[in-house]
A and B are shown apart, each in its own frame.
Chain A
Amino acid sequence: DIQMTQSPSSLSASVGDRVTITCRASQDIRTYLSWYQQKPGKAPKLLIYSASGLQSGLPSRFSGFGSGTDFTLTINSLQPDDFGTYYCQQSASFPHTFGQGTKLEIK
């Protein structure tokens, strides 16, 4: 199985900051990488698909980059509503494994 490792596990940032979360795959997954945001008690929400495709209706301050084994999710100009836990997921091969999550707190 492909292992997905996110860093950091948690972070705290201020409104207006730029935040970057990293996801590393244990083997080449090309661009079969998605990012999700989850808030407490809610289902995850797709942010980025195919490593860099922005889900329809989402603000452009969310962006994804990477291919192969190393990927990043960047949130520009952090907003109060951006708190939550962020997960990456690979869909290059089954099982479609998730990273362990990155908890983002707004200062």
Chain B
Amino acid sequence: QVQLVESGGGVVQPGRSLRLSCAASGFTFTRYAMHWVRQTAGKGLEWVAVISHDGRSDNYADSVKGRFSISRDNSKTTLFLDLHNLRAEDTAVYYCAREQISYSRSSGLGYWGQGTLVTVSS
């Protein structure tokens, strides 16, 4: 079955960096675009970034553009999110999610990980 397991969250000071990972299994990783979505405590969902199945293209939310970078290692079926110049408002649970339909980037998010908490605080 499809499994997505995030790791790398923690407490980090403002201005510092962090790398999140998402280990994927149970499906052909190279066929699916992958996304990051975040959720602040008690608030709604915010889409963060997407990377194409082959890693050649990506897109970001305006709130993270220039500070966050999404990447993937298809040989290790792992998705990454590098967070730089972190701000207090980046504090959230970060979910990785798999595209619903292979080779699409617009079919919805069919599978989600359990999330990893990032807290930005001095």
A interface list, Cβ under 8 A from B = 1, 32, 34, 36, 38, 43-46, 49-50, 55, 87, 89, 91-92, 94-101
What is the count of residue pairs linking A and B with beta-carbon distances less than 8 angstroms? 66
Interface SS, A side: loop
Residue in B closest to A38 when the chains form the complex, CB atoms: B45
State whether A87 and B44 are in contact (beta carbons under 8 Å apart), knowing that A43-B112, A49-B110 are contacts in the complex.
Answer: yes
Query: Could you say which of B61, B62, B115 contacts A43, with CB atoms under 8 Å apart?
Result: B115
Min distance, Cβ A27 to any Cβ of chain B, angstroms: 15
B47 touches A49 (CB 8 A): no
Count of chain B residues with a beta carbon within 8 Å of a chain A beta carbon = 25
Q: Which residues of B contact A45 (CB under 8 A)?
A: 112
Residue in A closest to B4 when the chains form the complex, CB atoms: A43
Q: Which residues of A contact B35 (CB under 8 A)?
A: 96
